[in-house]
Structure 1
Amino acid sequence: MPTITKLFSMQEISKHNSQNDCWVLIDNKVYDVTSYLDDHPGGDEVLLLATGKDATEEFEDAGHSAEAREIMKEYCIGELDPSASVSEGQNATETRSLAGTLGFINNYKQSLYWVLPVAIAGVAVFVSWVYLKKK
Structure 2
Amino acid sequence: MSEDKDFTFEELSKLSTPSNLHLVISGKVYAVAKFLEEHPGGDEVLLTEAGKDATESFEDVGHSEEARTLMEQFYVGTCKQGAPKGPPIIKKAAQQANPSNSDQQSGGWGFMVPLAILAAYLSYRFYFGA
TM-score (norm 1): 0.64
Q: Give the match for residue 94 of structure 1.
A: 86
Q: How many positions carry a matched residue from both structures?
A: 110
| Structure 1 segments (4+ residues) deviating >6 Å | none
Indicate the structure (1 or 2) with the bigger Cα radius of gyration: 1
Aligned partner of 2:52 in structure 1 is 53
The equivalent of 1:104 in structure 2 is: none
1:115 maps to what in 2? 117
Closer, same or farther: CA 110–54 of 1 in aligned 2, 3 Å:
farther
**How far apart are residue 53 of structure 1 and its match?**
1.4
Structural mapping, 1:14-33, within 5 Å: 14-33=13-32
**Amino acid of the structure 2 residue aligned with 1:65:** S
14-23 vs 32-41, greater mean Cα deviation: 32-41
Across the aligned residues of Structure 1 and Structure 2, the Cα RMSD in angstroms comes to 3.0
The structure with the greater share of residues assigned to helix is: 1
TM-score (norm 2): 0.66
Residue 5 of structure 1, CA deviation:
3.0
List alignment gaps of at least 5 residues for structure 1: 100-106, 128-135
Counterpart Cα distance in 1 of 2:43 and 2:127: 44
Equivalent residue, structure 1, for 2:99: none
Bigger RCO (CA 8 Å, 6+ sep): 2
Q: Deviations over 1:50-88 (max 9, x none)?
A: 21111222222333222111111111111103xxx25xx
For residues 5-37 of structure 1, the C-alpha deviation after alignment (integer angstroms, 9 at most, x for no partner) is 321111111111112111111111100112222
Partners of 1:34 and 1:71 in 2: how far apart? 14
Q: Percent identity?
A: 35
Partner of 2:97: none
